[in-house]
Amino acid sequence: MTVNVSPVAATLADHPFFSSMPLASLRRLATHAYRHEFAAGEPIFFEGADADRFMLIQRGLVKLDIEVPNRGRVDVEVLGPDSALGWSWLFAPYRWHLSATAVERTITLVFDAGVLRSRMAGDPVLGYELMRRFAAVLFDRLQATRERLSEEEVEVPVASVTGPWAGRRAVPPGSPKRV
C-alpha cells in the first residue's frame, strides 16, 4: 500500500522540530503551512508586535535581538537552518518578546498562530507534543537571552542546543565563534 504524502508534510517530517511526530498530525499541519522568503536585512517581526505566526527556518540566518533599558538593542542569538522561530504566539497577549531580522536570504515555512492554537486545542495529543517541543525552544531562548544579557562583552551565543527541537544557533560568515 502506497501512502501519499504532500511535499509540505514530507518537509515537516524531515525537519528536526517535527521529526518523530505522527504522519497524520503532520498532514493536518501541512495544510496550513506556506513557504516565505526574507531578503537579507529584512525584518521578520518586531518586539511588541502581534505574534501571529510560527516559522521553521529551512535556509538562511535569523538574528534575534531585544530592547534593553539603558543599553539599546542587544543581540540575543543567531538561528540557522532547522531552527524553530517564534513561540510568543502561544501565550496571551500574543506579542513578540524579541525582534527577528534575516541576516541573509532566509527561507521559512510559516504557520498561522490562530490555526495552530485551534488545532492544539482540538487534538490534545498534538497539543501536548507541540507544547513539549515549544517548551524546549522557549527554554533554549531564555537561557541564551540570560547568558547574553549577563555578559559584559558583546558576543552572540553559538552552538548550544537543549533538545532536538530547539534548532541550532548559527554564526554569520566572518563572525568570531565562541569556544
Q: Residue 175 domain-assigned?
A: no
The pLDDT, as a whole number, for residue 177 is: 46
Q: Find the CATH number of the domain harbouring 123.
A: 2.60.120.10
Q: Residue 89 domain-assigned?
A: yes
Q: Residue 166 domain-assigned?
A: no
Return the beta strands (E) in the chain as ranges: 33-38, 43-45, 53-59, 62-68, 72-79, 84-85, 99-102, 106-112
Rounded CA separation 119/108 (Å): 21
Q: Residue 168 domain-assigned?
A: no
The pLDDT, as a whole number, for residue 71 is: 85
Q: Residue 162 domain-assigned?
A: no
Mean pLDDT of 49-76: 92
What pLDDT digit, counting tens, does each position of 126-170 carry? Answer: 899 999 999 988 888 788 777 766 765 555 554 344 444 455 445
Q: Give the lowest-confidence range in 91-95, 101-105, 135-139.
A: 135-139
Q: Residue 2 domain-assigned?
A: no
Task: Spell out the residues 6+ positions from residue 168 whose beta carbon is closer than 8 angstroms to its own.
Answer: 79, 80, 81, 82, 83, 159, 161
pLDDT band at 53 (very low <50, low <70, confident <90, very high): very high
Q: Residue 144 domain-assigned?
A: yes
The residue range of the domain holding 91 is 34-150
User: Own/partner pairs for 40-43, CB < 8 Å, 24+ apart?
Assistant: 40/102, 40/103, 40/104, 40/105, 41/101, 41/102, 41/103, 42/101, 42/102, 43/99, 43/100, 43/101, 43/102
Q: Residue 87 domain-assigned?
A: yes
Number of domains in the chain: 1
